[in-house]
Amino acid sequence: MPKSGELKLTTRGDREILMTRDFNAPRHLVWDAFTKPELIKRWLLGPDGWSMPVCEVDLRVGGKYRYVWRNDSDGQEMGMGGVFRKVDRPNRIINTEKFDEAWYPGEAVNTTEFAEQSGKTTVTQNILYESKDARDGILKSGMESGVSRSYERLEEVLASTAPARTTKAEATEARQ
Amino acid sequence: MTQSSRLDATFAALADPTRRAILARLALGEASVTELAKPFDMSQPAISKHLKVLERAGLISRGQDAQRRPRRIEAKPLGEADEWLEKYRKLWEKRFRHLDGLLEELKSQQKKRKHTKR
Q: Which ipTM did the prediction report?
A: 0.70
B93, A7 Cβ separation under 8 angstroms: yes
Q: How confident is the model at residue A160 (pLDDT cuts 50, 70, 90)?
A: very low
Q: Quote the pLDDT of residue A110.
A: 95
- Is B31 a residue whose pLDDT tops 60? yes
- Is B44 a residue whose pLDDT tops 90? no
Q: Quote the pLDDT of residue A79.
A: 86
Mean pLDDT for chain A? 78
Burial call B99-114: b when 16+ CB within 10 Å, e when fewer: bbebbeebeeeeeeee
Average pLDDT estimate for B83-104: 86
Helix ranges (H only) for A37-143 are: 37-43, 132-140
Q: How confident is the model at residue B9 (pLDDT cuts 50, 70, 90)?
A: confident
pLDDT tens across B13-24, in order? 777 778 878 887
Q: How confident is the model at residue A176 (pLDDT cuts 50, 70, 90)?
A: very low
CA distance to partner chain B, nearest, from residue A137 (Å): 8
State the DSSP code for A76. -
pLDDT tens across A25-74, in order? 999 999 999 999 999 998 998 877 888 999 999 999 999 999 998 888 88
Most confident of A86-95, A160-169, B106-115: A86-95
Average pLDDT estimate for B95-118: 88
Q: What region, left, alpha or beta, does residue A106 occupy, with left being phi > 0 and alpha being psi -120 to 50 degrees?
A: left
Whether A23 sits inside 8 A of B100 (CB atoms) is yes
Tell me the residues of B at the A interface, defined by beta carbons under 8 Å apart. Answer: 3-4, 7-8, 11-12, 15, 79, 83-85, 87-96, 98-104, 106-107, 110
Q: How confident is the model at residue A140 (pLDDT cuts 50, 70, 90)?
A: low
State the DSSP code for A75. -
Q: Which of A12, A41, A42, A129 should we substitute to test contact with B (largest number of B Cβ atoms within 10 Å)?
A: A42
Q: Quote the pLDDT of residue A145.
A: 38
- Is A6 a residue whose pLDDT tops 90? no
CB pairs < 8 Å spanning A and B = 90
pTM above 0.90, yes or no: no
- Report the share of chain A in percent with pLDDT over 70: 74
Q: Which of B97, B100, B114 should we substitute to test contact with A (largest number of A Cβ atoms within 10 Å)?
A: B100
Of residues A147, A95, A172, the one with CA closest to residue A126: A95
Q: How confident is the model at residue A165 (pLDDT cuts 50, 70, 90)?
A: very low
